[in-house]
Amino acid sequence: MAYSFKGAISFGLVYIPIILSASVKNNDIGFNLIDKKTMSRIKYKKTCVDCDDKVVNNEDIVKGYQYEKGKYVIFTDEDFEKIKTQKDKNIVIEQFVELNEVRPVFFDKTYYIQPDGADKAFCVLLDALKKSKKAGIAKTVLGTKETLILIHTDGENLLLSTMFFSEEVQSCPAHKEVKVEKQELELATALINQMTKKFEPEIFKDEYNEKVKKAIEQKIKGNKIIKPREKAEPQKILNIMEALKKSLETSTKRRKAN
């Protein structure tokens, strides 16, 4: 597995060289944009605005900051590296928090952490986070952007999750507060309990992805895509109490049948 980052985690005087590896892969099906008349691929060209739209090669493109209209200062990769201190290049844990205090809305991407030497220190940190159910908060510069980081465990692996800063997270739009009756809450809780099972991620498949693959095969063979017959949608019940009761009855019947 190719690594995404090579650096170190430190907390206190403990220093752990690490490698980050992607925890997920992209299963999207790639489609090209095509001119429907000529069946030729569409390309995007990078052009110079003030040069009669002349095409510019990638090696001639640099990053520039506009400090006045039409005036730029150029930044190279070397410039960005010069700005970084050793602290910016490493992941320094600034504090530990209760893992359940971190709201899911702050999470962005998650990576596996593997030791690159100092295996003992790595295992000590992993086991200590497991036992305490805590997570480390850190910051580092990934590329050209400072990133907030959470070091935590899923009970087996040591993970690094990039997070959004507080100013990037928007408030949830306000919703109307409505009084929930005791019986409604009891029925909803009973339905949740009735539908509760152990989480087994392998049973959840990307069914739409499979449908797209089959549709591609049909198109290649010259066949038309036929829309499958769909089951009639269940009747919508506007009364929440009645909907909960019927849902609980249906769930109970399914449970007994299985």
Q: Give CA–CA dist 134/77, Å, rounded.
A: 36
The three-class DSSP label of residue 113 is: strand
The encoded tokens of residue 252 equal 């109970």
Strand partners, 98: 134
Q: Give CA–CA dist 250/258, Å, rounded.
A: 13
Measured CA distances, 9 to 100, 148, 198 (Å): 22, 14, 34
The encoded tokens of residue 195 equal 């539908």
The three-class DSSP label of residue 80 is: helix
Residue-by-residue pLDDT tens, the chain, 258 positions = 445 778 899 988 899 999 999 898 888 888 888 989 999 998 888 888 888 888 888 888 889 989 898 899 998 888 887 777 666 668 889 999 999 999 999 999 999 999 998 899 999 999 999 999 999 999 888 777 788 999 999 999 999 999 999 999 999 888 888 898 899 999 999 998 988 889 888 888 888 888 888 888 888 888 888 888 877 666 676 688 888 888 888 888 887 777
Q: Can you give the pLDDT at residue 89?
A: 67
Q: Can you give the pLDDT at residue 106?
A: 95
Q: Where are the domains of the chain?
A: 3-26+82-167, 182-257
Measured CA distances, 169 to 97, 106, 107, 108, 165 (Å): 19, 7, 10, 11, 7
Q: Give CA–CA dist 82/89, Å, rounded.
A: 11
Do residues 20 and 5 touch, judged by C-beta distance below 8 A?
yes
Q: Give CA–CA dist 172/114, Å, rounded.
A: 36
Q: Give CA–CA dist 187/181, Å, rounded.
A: 10
The encoded tokens of residue 76 equal 């190279």
Backbone angles phi, psi at 217, to 5 degrees: -60, -40
The encoded tokens of residue 256 equal 């007994």
The encoded tokens of residue 63 equal 């990053």
Q: Can you give the pLDDT at residue 178?
A: 86
Strand partners, 112: 21, 159
Checking phi first, is residue 66 left (phi over 0); if not, alpha (psi -120 to 50) or beta? beta
Residue in the block written with tokens 């990039």:
162
Q: Can you give the pLDDT at residue 1?
A: 45
Q: Give CA–CA dist 48/61, Å, rounded.
A: 10
Measured CA distances, 38 to 34, 35, 222 (Å): 8, 6, 19
Q: Can you give the pLDDT at residue 132?
A: 94
CATH 3.30.300.180 fits 3-26+82-167, yes or no: no
Q: Give CA–CA dist 148/125, Å, rounded.
A: 19
Backbone angles phi, psi at 130, to 5 degrees: -60, -50
